[in-house]
Structure 1
Amino acid sequence: MEAYEALESGDPERIGRYRIVARLGAGGMGRVYLGRSPGGRAVAVKVVRADLAEDAEFRRRFAREVAAARRVNGVFTAGVVDADPEGSPPWLATAYVPGVALSEAVTAHGPWPQGPVLALGAGLAEALEAIHAVDVVHRDLKPSNILLATDGPRVIDFGISVAHEASALTRTGMVVGTPGFMSPEQLTGKPIGPASDVFSLGAVLTFAATGSGPFGAGSGHALGFRVVYEEPDLSRLPPRLRPLVASCLAKQPHRRPTVATLLAQLAEAAAETPGETETADRGTVAEADAGGVTGEVVAGGHVAGEAGTHPPTRPGWLPAPVAASVHARTTVQSPALPPPPAVPLAPTPAPTPDPAPSQPPSENPEAVASGATPTPTPSPSPAPRAAGPTRRRALVGGLGAAAAAGLGFAGWKLSDRDSAKEPMGSPGPSRRTDASPTPTPSPSPAAPSGAEKWRFITGGLVYASPIVADGVVYVGTETDFLYALDAGTGEMRWAFKTGGNVNAAPAVADGTVYVGSEDGNLYAVDADTGRQRWKFRTGKGRSSPPTVAEGLVYVGGGGRLPKGIGATYRDDQDGHVYAVDSGTGAQRWKSTTSSRVEEAPTVADGTVYACALRGTAYALDAATGKRRWEFTTGGLLDSVVAVADGAVYLSSEDGYLYALDAGTGDRRWRFAAERFVSAPTVVDGTVYLGGGVGELTAVDARTGKRRWRTRVSKEPFVGAPTVVDGVAYTGSGDGNLYAVDAETGGKRWTFPTGSPVNAAPAFAEGVLYLSSGNGIVYAVT
C-alpha cells in the first residue's frame, strides 16, 4: 500500500464499525481506506464502486467472494477479517499492516538473484495452495499484490478474488486482472480456474528475476495481445528458473503444472541453490492489532491477520538490500494511527457555464486549514550536486521522522532522492510547513548538467510525457488529473479532472490544451483557467494522445468491445482516426482502421499517419480522411511514427524499424532491431530508438545502416529519446534519465529518479522536463 492520503469531500466518515481516517488507494472495483475499529485495530477497508454496488448480479457474486475469502487461512496469505456484502455500499475489511510491495522493492533495488526468486515462488505457490483449497481463484496475482516479510511473502487483495463456483456470474465485459499478468483464458473470456493463477505466478517470477514482465511493456491492449498470441521472452531468466517459469506460462491451462507439483519443484530448486545472497537477521516482530488476534507488521501496507505465528526466517529468502529494508520496518513498533486528516472543503466556486478545474488532494494542510485553495506543493530541491547513478535505495529513509510525527510507517522513501508518495496532510523531509506557496530556487549559473531544478509530486502514477508550452508544463496522471505547472517554479496553476486515467500526452495550441483519457473522451481545456471548453467521444476504450494542426485535432480511438478485453484482438474491427474542429469539438471526418489506434497520429504535408494496434500503418488525407495508402507489418504497432524528408519511420514488434516512402507507402529499407523497441526519433538524418535490452541505437535515415549502438542501462527498457543540440536524452526502466552524445553514443551524465522513466522527456529553454513512474515530475538543467 502507498502512504496515507487525506480524505476528500464525499469520502465516508464511517464504514460499518470502522472510523475512516485516510485514503490508501484505489482499484478496479473500489477505493481502499485506512480505518480504525472501536478498540483501535487498524484495518484496510475496500468500498465497492457505486456503479457496481447498484448491480444486483455483482452483489450476488461479491457476497460469494467474501464468503469464500473468509475461509482462506494460510501462512503466506492474508485474509478478510470483516465484511458487509449487503451494505450500502458493499465493503470488506482486512487487518492493515504497512510495508513494501514486491513491485516497489524490485523498482528500488533491481532484479533478484535466482535463489531468492525460487524461495519467493515456493512461498507464493504455498499461498495459492491455501487459496485454491477453498475453491477461490485469486485472478489478480501481480507484484503489487505481494508483500514482503522477513519470513516469506504475503498474497493480498482478496477483494477481487473470485470463488471458483461463482466465476460464471461475472458480467459480460467485466474483466478482473492486470495486463501482462492475466492468463490467456482471462483475456479471451474462457472459464477461469486455478491454472490461471499459475500463469500469473510465472509472470510474477519473471518480473522478480528480470525487472519486467515476460511480455514486455506497452499499452494494456498490446500486452494482452502478446499474452494471447505470442511467446514470452524468458531469455534473461537464470537456467534453473527458466523451465519452471516456461511451464507456468503455457498458453493452454491443462499444460501448466498443478500448484502442488509446482510447489515441490520450486522448493527442491530453492534447496539446491544456496549461498546466492545474504539475509538479514529476523529480529522482533511487532503486533499489528490491539484486539487479541496476532498479526505481523509485514512489508506491505495491507494484511496479516491469521492467528498464530509464522515459520522462522528461511535462508536465502530475500536479497540482502531488500532484507535490510524489510527487517528495519518489521522491527519497529507501529505507533498509534493518525487522527483523521483535517481537510475542510474548499470554498464553493460561483456557478459557471463550463466545468471548473477539479482539485486533487491537498499536500499543504496548513494552507487548506486557512481557507486557501488546496494546492499540491512542489518539494524544494536539494542543492545541485554532481550527476551520477546511485544504487542506494533507502526504502525506509523517512521512517524515523514519520514515526516521531505519529504517522506510523507512512513516510518512507523509494530512493535517496525522492519519495514515491509522501504522506499527504503532513510535511515530509523536503516540505515547508508554512501556508504560503513554495517557490523552488533556480540553480546557480554554475549548476552542473543533470542537476535538479524542481520537482512536483502528483500523488499518482505518471506514464505519459510532459508537454511544455508558453512557460507551462502539462502532464497527466493515473489519478484522472491533467496538471498545469509553472515551468520555472513547479507550482501548480490548475488541475483538471477527467473521467479516467490520463496516460496520454496532451497537445497545446492557441490557448487550449487537448488531452485524451481512458474514459473514451478527448477534452479541450482552457490553458489559462483549466476549465473545460468541450469534449468529444472517441470510443469505449482510451483515446490516443491528440495532434493539432491547421485548426483540427486528430485523435485515435476504438469502438465496441463486445465480450471483454479478449474481443479486442479477434472481433473488434472498428478502430478509428477522427478529425475534430479545434474550436468547437465538432467532428469533421472519421476514418475506420483495422483495429484500435492508441498512439498519437502524426501530421505532415497534408497527410495524417496513424498506426492500428494489430500492425497496419495508414496514410490519410488530412482534409478529408480519405485513405492514401496502408502498410502492414508482422507485429504490433503501439508507438507513434516519425516523418522527415519524405520518409515515414515506424517501429514494429516484429523486430524491425521500417522506412517507408511518405507519398506511396513503399518500403525503402528495414533495420533489424529487436522485438521491443521504442518509437523512433529522427533528427539531422539519423533515426534514434531505444530498445528492450537496455540499448540506444542510431541508424542512418537514408540507408538504414547502423551508426552506433550503446548499452545505456542494465535494465531491459530504454524509451524513445529526445534529441537536442547534439545530445540524446532517454529514460530507462532502471529509474534513470541518461544524456548520450548523439554523434558517438558516449554517455555524458545520468540523472536518477528512483522509478522507471518510460516516456520521452520534453525540452524548453535549456531545461528537461520528465516524469517518473512513481508520480513525480522533474525539471532538470
Structure 2
Amino acid sequence: MRVFEPLQESDPQQVGHYRILARLGSGGMGVVYLGRSRAGRAVAVKVVNAALAGDPEFRLRFAREVALARTVSGFFTAGVIDADMEGSPPWLATAYVAGLSLEEIIEEYGPWPETSVRTLGAGLAEALESIHTAGVVHRDLKPANVLLAPDGPRVIDFGISLAVGGARLTRTDALIGTPGFMSPEQVVGDPVGPPGDVFCLGAVLVYAATGTGPFGTGSAQSLWYRIANLEPTLDALPAGLRAVVAQCLDKRPERRPTTEALLGELAGPDTARGSVTELFADTAWLPENVVDALRAGTARPLPATPAPTPSVPGDDPVRPAAATVPRAEAEPTRARVGPKPPGSPADTDPEAVPEPGEPPRNPVSEVTTDSSGAEPQDTGASAVPRPAAPDSQDTRPPEKAPFATESSGLRTPPTQPRSGEAGDGEDPGDAVTSRRRGVSRRQALIALRVLGVATLGFAGWRLFGDGDGDGDDDGRGERSGGPVGSPSPLPSTPGSLRWSFTTGEFVSSSPAVVGGVVYCGSGDNKLYAIDAATGRRLWEFTTRDKVFSSPAVADGIVYVGSGDRNLYAIEAATGRQRWAFTTGGWVRSSPAVDDGTVYIGSGDKNLHAVDLVTGRQRWRYSTGAEVNSSPAVADGTVYVGDDDGRLHAVDAATGRRRWTFTTTPRRVRSTPAVEDGTVYVSSYDKHLYAVDAATGKQRWTFPTGGRVPSSPKVVDGVVYLGSIDRNVYAIDAATGNRRWAFTAGAELYSSPAIADGVLYIGDYAGRFYAIDLAAGRERWTYATGDKITSDPVVGIAEGTVYLSSYDTKIYALHV
C-alpha cells in the first residue's frame, strides 16, 4: 500500500496555494508532495529539482511539452490543475488519485483474468485518445504510470511527452522511456508518434495478464535488443487477447491499430462510443482481491494538515513564486517556496531568477516589434544505431545524436533597435529564444520539462530578468501596467510584422477584433484587450483556469468561456465583469451571440442558452456527449457538434431538438457553417459533410486524408477548410467536388480566414500562410515560434491579420 512519507526539514510547508502534508515520492527530477488546497481538495504537487532548473535545454523542453500536457483532458487521465511557471523552483499541482499503480497491484496480487484486462485496456485506449487529440505523445506508458481506482484507471505522468509533429527536443544523454515498455522506434531513435503509445499499451496489457512484459526481463540492453529485433512472447496470453495485443506490438508503426479501433476491440461492439465509462460503473471489472485492496487504500485518511511554522523573512504568504526552497542546513524550519536569501546569485546575475520582493514580472506586458517573428526550429536527434546483441558488454543505452537547431529561413532584416534594446543583429521578437542582449533586458521565455518523478506530469514556467528599461517602463521610471510598443518602422509589405504581444502561456484562443481592439484569451487564465494599431495592452481579465474559448463581442460586452466552467460577460471598455454563468464542465466552446442570447457548449454535455443581460439560463439542451464545438446560429436554429460525432439542430427560442445528424462516430469539434440552406460541418472521421439545414439529411460528403478539427468557411459557392493531412481544400459547395488543394508543412488545426481574395491559415509547425483564393497558391508565409491551432482574423480597416500561437504570442501582420 502507498505510504505517506513524513516531511523533511528541508521540505516546504506551503507551495503556492497548497498546504504540504506529506511526501509521495522523490527522484532525480524532483519531489512529489501530497498537498491540500484551501478548499480542502487533495492534490499532488511536484517541485522541480533546483539543479535541473539551471539547465536551459531542460527548461526549453519542459515548457513546450507541459504547455501541451495541460490541454489533455479525459476521464481516464489525471490532469494539471495549477502551476507556477515563475517559481524557482517551479512547481505544478495535479489531481490526487487515491489508488495504487498497476505495477504494485500485479506484483502483490498477481495477473488478472481476461475480462479485467480487456476492460483495463479500453480505459487506457480512451485515455490515449484524449492525450493524442491534444497533440501529445506520452512516450512512457508503463504499469507504474497507470493508477487504479475503483471507477477505472488513470494514465499519469505527461512530463516527457512530445508534441505530435512538433519539435523533437531530446537530450543527448537520455533515452526516454522504460526498458521493457518502449516501442521499437524509441529504441532505435526513430520519430515517435501515437503508434508508439499503442505499442506500449500492448506491453502493459501483457504485463497485466501474465505478470511480466512481452519481452521478458533482464538488463536494459537485452530488453532493447529484443524489442528492436525479436518477436514478443505471447503464449501465456488468453487466446481472446492474443490477436489484438499482437497487433499493438507490431514492429511497424503503420500497422498498429488506432486507439479508436482498440476501443472497439477491447470494449466490444455493443459499447457505444463515449460510453466506455459505463464499464467502470461498479467494481465488477476488477479481480475481487484487488477490489478489497483499492477500497482499503482509498478509505485511508490523509495525513493531518501540519501546524504552520515560522516563515522565512520576506515570505509572500499569498503567492510565493520565483524562489527556491531554503536548504535544511541554512534554515531549520520548513518554509514556503519563497524568496532566496539576500546575497544569493540572483542578486547579481542578470540572467538569474528575479526576487519576488520586486514588482512581479507580468508575462503579458511585453510587446516586441520584429521583422519575422521566426525562431530557430529544432531538427531533433537523428536515428541512433540498433542495439547490439545482448552478449555485448556495453550496457549503455543507444547513443543519441546531438541536439541541433536551424533557422527558419524566413527572416527579413531586423528593425533598428531602440536605445538599450536588442542589437547585434538579434531579432527582438524571436519567440522562446528572444532574450535581449545587454544589461537589464528582460530574459527570454525559458522553461523546463521534468521527466516523471512519481505519478504526475509537470507544467511549463517562465523566468524573466530584471525589468529596468524594458517595454513596461512608461518613460517616467514607473511601471505603466501595460506594454509600450509602436507600429513596425518596416514598410507595410504583406506578411511583415506590425507588432507582437506576449502573454504568460500558450495561446490557442482565436482573437476577435472589434472597434480597433483585439480580444484574445490565453493559457495563463486571462483574457486580454489589446490596441489593434499599436499592440498596447488596454486591460486584462483573469479567470480561474485556461481560456481556450474564443471571445465574442456584442453591444460593448465581451463573452468568453473558461476552463473554470464559467461563461463570462465582461465590459469591453473597462474589462470589468458583468456576470458569470456557471456550467457543469470545462468550457472550450466559443460563444455565439444572437437576438439577446448567448449560446455556449460545455464539457457537461449540454448546449446552454443564456440571457445576455442577466446572465441567467434560458434553456439547456443535452447532447449526450461533451460539447467542444462552437455553436452557429442561423434562421432561428442553433447548430452545434458533440464528441460522439453528432451534429445537432436546436430551436433557438425553445431549446427543442429539430434534428440530429450522425457522422461516423468520431468527434465533431468544428464550428458549423450555414449558407443557402445547407450546413457544412467537418468531423474527426476525416470527412466534410453538407447537410440540409431543414431536414438534417446529407447532401454530400468530401473525404480528406486525416481528421478535420478545422471549421469550414463558405465564400462565393466554395467551402474552404484545413485537415490533419496538411491540406487546405477548396470544395464546390453545391457538388462537393474538389477545386484545389494546397499542402502546408504540417497538420492543420486552424480554420481559415478569408478576405480580399486571400485565405489565411496556420499549421502545427508554426507557419502562417497567405494563399491565393482563386489558384490555391502561396503568396507569403510567416514563421511563429510554435504551433498554431487557433483561427486568424482579418481586420480590413487596419489592413492586418491577427493570429495567436503556442509560443505565447499574439501577432499582427500586414496583409
TM bucket by the smaller chain? 0.5 to 0.7
Q: Distance in 2 between matches of 1:342 and 1:694?
A: 48
Q: Distance in 2 between matches of 1:745 and 1:725?
A: 14
1:78 aligns with 2:108: no
Which residue identity lines up with residue 656 of structure 1 in the other structure?
A: H
CA deviation map 1:582-632 (0-9, x unaligned): 111122211111212122110011110011111111101111111111011
Q: Determine the structure 1 residue equivalent to 2:527.
A: 482
Tell me, yes or no, if the aligned pair for 2:689 and 2:698 is still in contact at 8 Å. Answer: yes
Which residue identity lines up with residue 22 of structure 2 in the other structure?
A: A
Rate the CA distance shift 1:475–1:398 in 2: closer, same or farther, 3 A. Answer: closer
Q: Determine the structure 2 residue equivalent to 1:767.
A: 800
Q: Determine the structure 1 residue equivalent to 2:722.
A: 690
Q: How big is the shift at 1:271?
A: 11
Which residue identity lines up with residue 55 of structure 2 in the other structure?
A: G
Q: Distance in 1 between matches of 2:599 and 2:748?
A: 29
Q: Distance in 1 between matches of 2:91 and 2:214?
A: 24
1:540 aligns with 2:585: yes
Q: Distance in 1 between matches of 2:527 and 2:715?
A: 29
Q: Distance in 2 between matches of 1:104 and 1:529?
A: 36
Rate the CA distance shift 1:210–1:774 in 2: closer, same or farther, 3 A. Answer: closer
Q: Determine the structure 2 residue equivalent to 1:617.
A: 647
Q: Distance in 1 between matches of 2:46 and 2:169?
A: 34
Q: 2:55 aligns with which of 90, 99, 106?
A: 99
Q: How big is the shift at 1:768?
A: 0.8
Q: Determine the structure 2 residue equivalent to 1:253.
A: 205
Tell me, yes or no, if the aligned pair for 2:681 and 2:688 is still in contact at 8 Å. Answer: yes
Which residue identity lines up with residue 471 of structure 1 in the other structure?
A: G
Q: 2:540 aligns with which of 485, 495, 498?
A: 495
Q: 1:518 aligns with which of 563, 569, 576?
A: 563
1:727 aligns with 2:758: yes
Q: 1:340 aligns with which of 355, 368, 393?
A: 355
Rate the CA distance shift 1:487–1:184 in 2: closer, same or farther, 3 A. Answer: farther
1:595 aligns with 2:595: no
Q: Distance in 1 between matches of 2:204 and 2:627?
A: 29
Alignment of 1:419-498 (within 5 A): 423=464, 425-426=466-467, 434=475, 435=478, 439-443=484-488, 446-498=491-543
Q: How big is the shift at 1:441?
A: 3.0
Tell me, yes or no, if the aligned pair for 2:203 and 2:214 is still in contact at 8 Å. Answer: no
Q: How big is the shift at 1:194?
A: 12
Which residue identity lines up with residue 625 of structure 2 in the other structure?
A: S
1:382 aligns with 2:377: no
Q: Determine the structure 1 residue equivalent to 2:115.
A: none
SS in 2 for 1:453: strand
Which residue identity lines up with residue 555 of structure 1 in the other structure?
A: I
Tell me, yes or no, if the aligned pair for 2:78 and 2:154 is still in contact at 8 Å. Answer: no
Rate the CA distance shift 1:460–1:629 in 2: closer, same or farther, 3 A. Answer: same
Q: Distance in 2 between matches of 1:588 and 1:158?
A: 38
Rate the CA distance shift 1:379–1:94 in 2: closer, same or farther, 3 A. Answer: same
Alignment of 1:140-219 (within 5 A): 179-180=131-132, 204=162
Rate the CA distance shift 1:596–1:643 in 2: closer, same or farther, 3 A. Answer: same
Tell me, yes or no, if the aligned pair for 2:790 and 2:804 is still in contact at 8 Å. Answer: yes
Q: Determine the structure 2 residue equivalent to 1:327.
A: none
Which residue identity lines up with residue 531 of structure 2 in the other structure?
A: D
Rate the CA distance shift 1:260–1:705 in 2: closer, same or farther, 3 A. Answer: farther
Q: Determine the structure 2 residue equivalent to 1:362.
A: 362
Q: How big is the shift at 1:646?
A: 1.1
Q: How big is the shift at 1:413?
A: 10
Tell me, yes or no, if the aligned pair for 2:59 and 2:447 is still in contact at 8 Å. Answer: no
Which residue identity lines up with residue 379 of structure 1 in the other structure?
A: V
Rate the CA distance shift 1:680–1:251 in 2: closer, same or farther, 3 A. Answer: farther
Rate the CA distance shift 1:728–1:240 in 2: closer, same or farther, 3 A. Answer: closer
Rate the CA distance shift 1:533–1:601 in 2: closer, same or farther, 3 A. Answer: same
1:668 aligns with 2:699: yes
CA deviation map 1:4-52 (0-9, x unaligned): xxxxxxxxxxx9988xxxxxxxxxxxxxxxxxxxxxxxx9x795564x6
Tell me, yes or no, if the aligned pair for 2:367 and 2:501 is still in contact at 8 Å. Answer: yes
Which residue identity lines up with residue 340 of structure 1 in the other structure?
A: E
Q: Distance in 1 between matches of 2:366 and 2:638?
A: 38
Which residue identity lines up with residue 390 of structure 1 in the other structure?
A: G
Q: Determine the structure 2 residue equivalent to 1:649.
A: 680
Of residues 160-169 and 440-449 in structure 1, the stretch that sits farther from structure 2 once superposed is: 160-169
Q: Determine the structure 1 residue equivalent to 2:306.
A: none
Q: How big is the shift at 1:466?
A: 0.6
Q: Distance in 2 between matches of 1:533 and 1:193?
A: 40
> What value does the CA root-mean-square deviation take over the aligned residues?
5.2
Q: Determine the structure 2 residue equivalent to 1:630.
A: 660
Q: Determine the structure 1 residue equivalent to 2:596.
A: 551
Q: Distance in 2 between matches of 1:443 and 1:621?
A: 48
Tell me, yes or no, if the aligned pair for 2:474 and 2:484 is still in contact at 8 Å. Answer: no
Q: How big is the shift at 1:694?
A: 2.1
CA deviation map 1:136-165 (0-9, x unaligned): xx9889xx99xxxxxxxxxx9897698998
Q: Determine the structure 2 residue equivalent to 1:264.
A: 221
1:708 aligns with 2:696: no
Q: Distance in 1 between matches of 2:218 and 2:727?
A: 38
Of residues 246-255 and 697-706 in structure 1, the stretch that sits farther from structure 2 once superposed is: 246-255
Tell me, yes or no, if the aligned pair for 1:381 and 1:430 is still in contact at 8 Å. Answer: no
Rate the CA distance shift 1:106–1:724 in 2: closer, same or farther, 3 A. Answer: farther
Q: How big is the shift at 1:473?
A: 0.7
Q: Distance in 1 between matches of 2:657 and 2:79?
A: 41
Tell me, yes or no, if the aligned pair for 1:693 and 1:718 is still in contact at 8 Å. Answer: no
Q: How big is the shift at 1:78?
A: 2.3
Q: 1:740 aligns with which of 771, 774, 779?
A: 771
Alignment of 1:224-235 (within 5 A): none
Q: Distance in 1 between matches of 2:674 and 2:738?
A: 19
Tell me, yes or no, if the aligned pair for 1:521 and 1:536 is still in contact at 8 Å. Answer: yes
Alignment of 1:1-40 (within 5 A): none
Q: Distance in 2 between matches of 1:494 and 1:584?
A: 23
Tell me, yes or no, if the aligned pair for 1:694 and 1:716 is still in contact at 8 Å. Answer: yes
Q: How big is the shift at 1:486?
A: 1.0
Rate the CA distance shift 1:465–1:341 in 2: closer, same or farther, 3 A. Answer: same
SS in 2 for 1:179: helix
Q: How big is the shift at 1:432?
A: 6.1
Tell me, yes or no, if the aligned pair for 1:620 and 1:629 is still in contact at 8 Å. Answer: yes
Q: Determine the structure 2 residue equivalent to 1:135.
A: none
SS in 2 for 1:613: coil
Q: How big is the shift at 1:687?
A: 1.2
Q: How big is the shift at 1:501?
A: 1.3
Which residue identity lines up with residue 382 of structure 1 in the other structure?
A: D
Structure 2 stretches of 5 or more lacking a match? 1-6, 66-76, 85-89, 105-125, 171-182, 208-212, 230-322, 328-347, 376-406, 412-426, 449-459
Q: % of aligned pairs identical?
A: 33
Q: Determine the structure 2 residue equivalent to 1:752.
A: 783
Rate the CA distance shift 1:496–1:433 in 2: closer, same or farther, 3 A. Answer: closer
Q: How big is the shift at 1:454?
A: 1.1
Structure 1 stretches of 5 or more lacking a match? 1-14, 19-42, 54-58, 110-137, 146-155, 170-174, 213-231, 273-300, 306-332, 345-359, 364-375, 560-574
